[in-house]
């Protein structure tokens, strides 16, 4: 099944699951994993054994085979964990997860001083990546999910979501949904007895049945706000263990990256000074974790212009005339955010999290949008789920949608979602998506 759909929580068990989508064998994860082990771990070992005399039980060759196998297992685990989130296709994370997994294995060999065959490790990495890309291109690239809708309650609203072939059922017959990957229903609706029996029969037949709310979140990456109640916030509490571990990881990463970032920051400071001689840094009061006011640092990208309306001054519009030439490049590449490394070192921000809003805008949004202040339950970040999905927004209507992305991030708060946002941030930086 498509990884996006896997992110939802099925009501039915996966027992006796049938290959309903008609996909080829190469599109199935178990086959891809087995092929990767043969091609990326065993094949390099056999090649070295055949080409190098006495290499059959040679420790470097054996260790390289075991290392490649461990890297493949780690890479598959990472991919399956990351691609449960919406807005991501498995092709986006093949290379990053393979690089990370094989990098971990190489680091292990360097630290442990165990002997290993560099050529076999390199060959295993290349063959692993090529095989997975081949399997995706042949078996998964054009696969679309088909989901049957039980036509009661709010389930019919799902048809507005693109990327899925929806079948609105006319009668409660399992045969009508035989070519569908799953079934979705609104369990809060008052279903007729025959449709209740249909869902029970579907579960007994091993079919996957989704609740409409979870499936909608999985496909859109947003948590709808209109129906949130006081009891809903229990499911939106971030994982506290990851919250504290993430803070430590953020600090260590900032300490490690700062020496590399300082020369770039110095060059940017010189460019800003040469353009108009103004201040290098822009300091702004924003709202951080738990509603605390913090001073956020950025490279100045705009001309200092007096605007009477505080709220309007805090917004940036498309083609804003205040943006300087250097500023346009800094905004597009997101380099203007680099000074926020110092906010991370002060434990005020994270690398990944909801973007901190200017205090004047935060007060406005809180007065207009229900539950807005709840986004401060986690640390704000330099990049976030809303930024990689939606880009920069400021008007209330767009901020309402942004808040839905922020709540999704809080609800599914995990290292895997952070890693996915990191991968997509790299793509965002390269494309300039959402910059103003």
Structure tokens at 401: 């949608």
**Mean pLDDT across the chain, nearest whole number?**
85
Q: What angle do CA 17, 22, 27 make, to 5 degrees?
A: 85
Nearest one of 358, 347, 342, 350 to 392, comparing CA atoms: 358
Task: Please tell me the predicted confidence (pLDDT) of residue 308.
Answer: 59
Query: Is 145-220 CATH 2.40.50?
Result: no
CA distances, 77 to each of 54, 80, 161, 166 (Å): 34, 5, 28, 30
Residues 6 or more apart whose CB falls under 8 angstroms from that of 390 comprise 398, 401, 402, 405, 434
How far is C-alpha 258 from the geometric centre of its chain's CA atoms?
25
Three-state secondary structure call for residue 375: helix
Instruction: State residue 205 phi and psi, 5-degree precision.
Output: -85, 0
Q: DSSP letter string over 232-247? A: GGGGG---HHHHHHHH
Task: Please tell me the predicted confidence (pLDDT) of residue 5.
Answer: 45
Task: Please tell me the predicted confidence (pLDDT) of residue 206.
Answer: 83
Q: Where are the domains of the chain?
A: 24-140, 145-220, 240-431
Task: Please tell me the predicted confidence (pLDDT) of residue 139.
Answer: 79
Residues 6 or more apart whose CB falls under 8 angstroms from that of 269 comprise 280, 299
- Looking at residue 399, what DSSP letter applies? H
Q: Is the distance from CB of 20 to CB of 180 less than 8 angstroms?
A: yes
Q: Where are the beta strands (DSSP E) in 161-238?
A: 164-168, 182-185, 209-211
Quote the pTM value.
0.78
For the chain, residues with pLDDT lower than 50 are: 1-7, 9-22, 230
Strand partners, 352: 383
Three-state secondary structure call for residue 376: helix
Pairing of strands 293-299, 209-211: unpaired
Give the separation between CA 334 and CA 337, rounded to whole angstroms.
Answer: 6
Task: Please tell me the predicted confidence (pLDDT) of residue 393.
Answer: 67
Nearest one of 387, 382, 386 to 428, comparing CA atoms: 387
Pairing of strands 182-185, 281-287: unpaired
Give the separation between CA 18 and CA 364, rounded to whole angstroms.
Answer: 52
Nearest one of 69, 65, 32 to 47, comparing CA atoms: 65
Q: What angle do CA 395, 400, 404 make, to 5 degrees?
A: 145
């Amino acid at each position: 099944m498509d990884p996006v759909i896997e992110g939802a929580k099925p009501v039915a068990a996966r027992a006796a699951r049938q290959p309903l989508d008609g996909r080829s064998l190469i599109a199935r994860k178990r086959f891809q994993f087995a092929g990767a082990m043969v091609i990326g771990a065993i094949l390099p070992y056999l090649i070295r054994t055949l080409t190098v005399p006495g290499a059959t039980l040679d420790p470097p060759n054996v260790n390289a085979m075991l290392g490649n196998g461990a890297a493949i297992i780690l890479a598959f685990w990472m991919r399956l964990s990351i691609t449960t989130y919406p807005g991501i296709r498995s092709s986006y994370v093949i290379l990053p997860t393979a690089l990370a997994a094989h990098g971990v294995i190489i680091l292990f060999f360097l630290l442990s001083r165990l002997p290993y065959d560099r050529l076999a490790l390199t060959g295993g990495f290349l063959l692993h990546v090529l095989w997975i890309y081949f399997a995706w291109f042949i078996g998964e690239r054009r696969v679309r999910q088909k989901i049957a809708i039980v036509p009661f309650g709010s389930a019919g609203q799902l048809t507005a979501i693109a990327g899925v072939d929806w079948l609105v059922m006319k009668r409660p017959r399992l045969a009508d949904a035989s070519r569908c990957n799953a079934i979705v229903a609104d369990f809060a609706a008052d279903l007729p007895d025959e449709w209740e029996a249909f869902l029970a029969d579907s579960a007994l037949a091993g079919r996957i049945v989704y609740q409409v709310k979870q499936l909608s979140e999985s496909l859109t990456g947003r948590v709808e706000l209109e129906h949130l109640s006081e009891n809903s916030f229990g499911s939106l509490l971030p994982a506290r263990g990851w919250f504290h571990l993430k803070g430590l990881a953020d600090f260590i990463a900032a300490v490690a990256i700062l020496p590399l970032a300082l020369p770039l920051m110095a060059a940017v400071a010189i460019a800003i000074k040469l353009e108009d001689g103004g201040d290098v840094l822009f300091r702004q009061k924003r709202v951080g974790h738990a509603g605390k006011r913090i001073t956020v640092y950025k490279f100045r990208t705009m001309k200092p212009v007096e605007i009477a309306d505080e709220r309007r001054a805090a917004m940036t519009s498309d083609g804003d005339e205040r943006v300087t030439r250097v500023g346009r490049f800094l905004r597009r590449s997101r380099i203007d955010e680099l000074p926020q490394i110092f906010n991370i070192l002060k434990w005020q921000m994270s690398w990944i999290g909801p973007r901190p809003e200017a205090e004047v805008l935060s007060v406005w949004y809180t007065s207009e949008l229900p539950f807005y202040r709840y986004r401060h339950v986690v640390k704000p970040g330099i990049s976030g789920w809303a930024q990689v999905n939606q880009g920069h927004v400021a008007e209330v209507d767009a901020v309402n949608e942004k808040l839905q992305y922020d709540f999704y991030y809080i609800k599914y708060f995990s290292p895997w979602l952070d890693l996915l946002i990191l991968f997509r941030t790299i793509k965002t930086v390269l494309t300039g998506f959402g910059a103003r």
